[in-house]
Structure 1
Amino acid sequence: MQNNEWIDSFEKYAQKWITKGQVPGVCLGIAKNGQIFYKNGFGFRNVERQLGVTIDTVFGIGSITKSFTCVAVMQLQEAGKLSVHDPVVKYLPEFRLKNLDVGQITIHHFMTNTSGIPPLPTFFASVMRSLEENEVDDHPFLQNQTDDTVPIDTYEDLMSVISTLDLELLGPPGTEFSYSNDCFALLGAIIERVSGKSYEAYVKEHIIAPIGMEHTSFFMEELNRYENITNLYIMRDKGDHKEVIPSPNWWDTSSFRAAGFIKSTVRDMLRYTDMFCKGGLTTGGKRILTPESVQQMITPYFPTDMVPGQFYGYGLVITPDYHGKKLVEHSGGLKGIAAQMCFFPETGLAGVALSNLELSPVLAVMTGALNSLENRPPESSHLISKIDFLSEEAMHQFVGDYQSSEFGTLPLRLENGQLVLCFLGENYVLRPFAEDIFVVRAFGTDCSARFIRGAKNEIVRMAFAGRQFSKEVATY
């Protein structure tokens, strides 16, 4: 670890991706057993004033918040106030799905994204109050929304809206993975009702404060006029080029905070990862979780469909064999936010990368650092394909439009002998990997698309970006 030769090749690689992605600012920190041995701020937290990035710059962490939510649930289980195997309706009797029985859906299913609930069209309504203040309104999430949407301001509002939606479960609870911000939002409601405190107050008192995360909060006003806070930036498509512009206000939503709205720093987040590596203990010796609870959180319960060989635990993503070691990680993304956290529980190595532009290549920066540290080329992948080639005839069955109420329609076409998927305005080539599984290189790292067949062996859904999309009538 003292050998710093890896730093040069890594930083050239990272700078290449940061420049290519037009990312204003990125911070990366890497620690071993809680000791930070590498830190670097690339670019600016405020481009206009040329203010740099440090490991104490506050960024959003997006969906990494989900792991905090699961830590809170595990603490409440340790206190005997709930069990992860309790039905959700035990604590949220208002939770209903139209014409469907929800009695079998447990807290465990919510924590592992295996409730069977498909992507829902609720997010826009939940952040409407933020959008009303926002002078810049073009965001990929918002392209399918209508003017008659009613804001979702409370957990009760959210459950009320969900109860009116016409939907089918993807499968019985525990049988299908589909990433669900809504289920994590409702875990916040369970934490409130069981603890008797607001979700945000509980997390601050029982996780953030005892770990010593000094510049971490859901609310900017709690940071006491701390100045080292990033600006937020968004990418605007100008037709012939893309332009990065500031978009100052942070999105917020009182009903979805448990799914992704903590703000933090690289230094604070490395204290948080160290708690997991130390079996639930902070550097100062305070116990946040028992070793058993940590173990339950990093157990690979169900394949994620995001990368082959990757599983979801409790608010954490687990790759049991990442170049021979167990990797635990989670990413986060929102307007002006791209975040990546990872740790290796067996070796105590941990890394955090935070950025101020959504869909920026923080995962490429993180994996580039991990590869360089272990003397692999920074662009190395741990994935080995089982299939290298498919005929055009075989590819035709996958072609079509894939739809979800969260992201709208994803067209998949056959172009010049390759399958090309359009996602959030960008085209990606699908490379054959295994039967009905393809790998997509996006933002410098690999993710997967898995196709799901129906009773007649026809393609009915695509699992991509952690969600399931239904196949519409194919277009040839």
Structure 2
Amino acid sequence: MKMKEWEASFEAYVQRLMDDFQVPGAIIAVAKDGELTYEKAFGFRDREQQAPIDLDTVFGIGSITKSFTCMAIMQLQEEGKLSVHDPVITYLPAFRTPDEAQTKSITIHHFMTHTLGFPPLPSLIPAMLPSLQADPTADELLHHFEDQCKHPIDTFEDLMAYIEKLPFELLGPAGTEFSYSNEAFGLLGAIIERASGKPYEAYVQEHILQPIGMERTVFHVEELGEDNNTTMLYTRRMKDGVREVVRAPGWWDAPSMRAAGFLKSTARDMLRYADVYRTGGLSNGARIISGDSASQMIAPHVRVDLSRSYGYGLGVFPFSEDYTLLTHTGGLKGMTAQMFIVPEAGVTGILLTNMDDAPISNLTLGLLNSMFGRPLETQFATFPEYEVPLAYLQQCPGTYKSGEGDAVEIRFDEAQSQLVLVLGSDVFPLRSVGEDTFLFTRHNIDSLIRFVRHPEGEIKRLAFGSRQMPKAI
């Protein structure tokens, strides 16, 4: 394969990032019009054994699983077994929220677009409890969530019962507020099960993976038998104030939330899967969903921030005046992944790594910039300055906490008359780019945050990443 002009500089950039972040292994693969045009492995699937990576090495894909779940829903809609506008309680009569009227109004569409009105909840940790308890590297996480881990959430019924007992405030009426919800996607698995009459995993296997020819895509690596072309998992931890990357065997699992993020796959398989979105429903000679269903999946149903929207299990945002970027990331212990499709250019891509919190946004942006002839570190989007009154800035400070265990502090820097965002020991200046919206730059990637107010004007939450985090103090 002839080296393109951009490949050498891009690969040097990737190697620098891999070294800086101590990523043990990664593979990056791109196809144009369904034909593989670029593949490159970096590092090792097993650092200690120096085992190589190829297109068929199995990695975790985390939350990219969510798009498979939405694809299954669209198939069932085509068969007349459900509608995305059906109330959730039609299929899950035990589902409850803190507001009975809202419970009745939440539809499958609201689940698929993260607009059911849930703030981030702590359900995922007890849903993974047995695998966490078997993992020595999870001790700190288990200690942090000790109060939530009295009982595992093993079934869909357990998950609904857990949500019903949780004290939390809804973000707003269904359809009005975007906040990423693993619980919603876990329960989409239950809806697929009830509507199809098959276990969620079996449905995905029979109706998506097999027709596409994704022979090395599984929920459990044990399904691959004696095959050893599977990555070792690595995780980062602090030891004596120094960050180190340690070997962390053992895949985390959550039976009640597999539909939210527990598939494993390969670069070759994922390019085949991404083709469904490039072609409007086709891959490997099979029609997986109709053109209309594909269009619904990639439609920007809800605005996430000034640049990003969300479809069904996919992020949707402009990459330039000419191109749309369809994408989703995934992350869990021992994995960080990103899939992307640029439909107008016929381009699909997948990036897989074997460490959590790898710099996947930098890798993806660098790849896209390189392929489309832009400087390596050009941002996804740019925003003009926006004037904000001093009195408004002074309302924003506080600590914003997520039920998933994250905390962000906002401070007002008197000397600079500006807000700063504090993440652990890192402090980032905030630049106003819109009403209630600010930008900060971390690891050379621009990210947006938004303050969410009560109708009377008081700031009550922070939209950070894809989650709305309530103000604690």
| TM norm structure 1 | 0.94
Q: Which residue of 2 aligns with 1:402?
A: 400
Matched, 1:293 2:275: no
Tell me: CA distance 1:175–1:393, structure 2 relative to 1, closer, same or farther (3 Å).
closer
1:426 is displaced (CA, Å) by 5.0
What CA distance in whole angstroms lies between the structure 2 residues aligned with 1:434 and 1:147? 37
Q: Tell me the SS of whatever aligns to 2:138.
A: coil
Q: Which residue of 1 aligns with 2:261?
A: 260
What CA distance in whole angstroms lies between the structure 2 residues aligned with 1:408 and 1:277? 35
Tell me: CA distance 1:413–1:143, structure 2 relative to 1, closer, same or farther (3 Å).
farther
Tell me: CA distance 1:142–1:439, structure 2 relative to 1, closer, same or farther (3 Å).
farther
Tell me: CA distance 1:98–1:452, structure 2 relative to 1, closer, same or farther (3 Å).
closer
Q: Which residue of 2 aligns with 1:326?
A: 324
**Runs of at least 5 residues in structure 2 that lack an aligned partner in the other structure:** none
8 A Cα contact 1:141 1:406, kept in partner: no
Q: Tell me the SS of whatever aligns to 1:177.
A: coil
Letter in 1 for 2:63: S
What CA distance in whole angstroms lies between the structure 2 residues aligned with 1:287 and 1:231? 34
Q: Which residue of 1 aligns with 2:224?
A: 223
1:435 is displaced (CA, Å) by 2.3
Q: Please, which of 351, 354, 361 is the counterpart of residue 353 of structure 1?
A: 351
What CA distance in whole angstroms lies between the structure 1 residues aligned with 2:329 and 2:12? 23
Q: Which residue of 2 aligns with 1:467?
A: 467
Matched, 1:363 2:361: yes
Q: Which residue of 2 aligns with 1:53?
A: 53
1:309 is displaced (CA, Å) by 1.5
What CA distance in whole angstroms lies between the structure 1 residues aligned with 2:142 and 2:409? 16
Q: Which residue of 1 aligns with 2:84?
A: 84
8 A Cα contact 1:87 1:107, kept in partner: yes
1:147 is displaced (CA, Å) by 7.1
Q: Tell me the SS of whatever aligns to 2:470.
A: strand
1:428-467 matched pairs, under 5 angstroms = 428-467=428-467
8 A Cα contact 2:42 2:53, kept in partner: yes
Q: Tell me the SS of whatever aligns to 2:282.
A: coil
Q: Which residue of 2 aligns with 1:155?
A: 156
Q: Which residue of 1 aligns with 2:313?
A: 315
* Matched pairs, number: 470
Letter in 2 for 1:74: M
Tell me: CA distance 1:147–1:287, structure 2 relative to 1, closer, same or farther (3 Å).
closer
Alpha-carbon displacement from aligned partner over 1:181-231 (angstroms, at most 9, x marks no partner): 000000000001111110000001100111011211001111122211111
Q: Which residue of 1 aligns with 2:134?
A: 133
Q: Tell me the SS of whatever aligns to 2:345.
A: coil
Tell me: CA distance 1:408–1:281, structure 2 relative to 1, closer, same or farther (3 Å).
closer
1:441 is displaced (CA, Å) by 2.5
1:393 is displaced (CA, Å) by 6.2
The 10-residue stretch of structure 1 (127-136 or 251-260) with the greater mean CA deviation from structure 2: 127-136
Letter in 1 for 2:192: I
1:141 is displaced (CA, Å) by 8.2
Q: Tell me the SS of whatever aligns to 2:136.
A: coil
1:392 is displaced (CA, Å) by 6.8
What CA distance in whole angstroms lies between the structure 2 residues aligned with 1:355 and 1:468? 27
The 10-residue stretch of structure 1 (263-272 or 131-140) with the greater mean CA deviation from structure 2: 131-140
1:126-275 matched pairs, under 5 angstroms = 126-138=127-139, 143-146=144-147, 149-275=150-276
Q: Tell me the SS of whatever aligns to 2:407.
A: strand
Alpha-carbon displacement from aligned partner over 1:361-381 (angstroms, at most 9, x marks no partner): 122111101101121111101
Tell me: CA distance 1:142–1:85, structure 2 relative to 1, closer, same or farther (3 Å).
farther
What CA distance in whole angstroms lies between the structure 1 residues aligned with 2:167 and 2:88? 20
Tell me: CA distance 1:426–1:72, structure 2 relative to 1, closer, same or farther (3 Å).
farther
Letter in 2 for 1:76: L
Q: Please, which of 372, 383, 393 is the counterpart of residue 374 of structure 1?
A: 372
Q: Which residue of 1 aligns with 2:30?
A: 30
Alpha-carbon displacement from aligned partner over 1:334-379 (angstroms, at most 9, x marks no partner): 1111010000122210111011111111221111011011211111
Q: Which residue of 2 aligns with 1:422?
A: 422
Tell me: CA distance 1:82–1:336, structure 2 relative to 1, closer, same or farther (3 Å).
same
| TM norm structure 2 | 0.95
1:431 is displaced (CA, Å) by 3.0
Alpha-carbon displacement from aligned partner over 1:98-149 (angstroms, at most 9, x marks no partner): 3433010000000000011111121111000101211212556863432752
1:442 is displaced (CA, Å) by 3.2
Q: Which residue of 2 aligns with 1:64?
A: 64
Tell me: CA distance 1:140–1:151, structure 2 relative to 1, closer, same or farther (3 Å).
closer
Letter in 2 for 1:315: G
8 A Cα contact 1:67 1:316, kept in partner: yes
Alpha-carbon displacement from aligned partner over 1:398-444 (angstroms, at most 9, x marks no partner): 21111221224322224563533334775444333222211233344
Identity of aligned residues (%): 48
8 A Cα contact 2:129 2:149, kept in partner: no
Q: Tell me the SS of whatever aligns to 2:169.
A: coil
What CA distance in whole angstroms lies between the structure 2 residues aligned with 1:61 and 1:354? 7
Letter in 1 for 2:347: L
What CA distance in whole angstroms lies between the structure 2 residues aligned with 1:287 and 1:88? 28
Tell me: CA distance 1:282–1:429, structure 2 relative to 1, closer, same or farther (3 Å).
same
Tell me: CA distance 1:65–1:210, structure 2 relative to 1, closer, same or farther (3 Å).
same
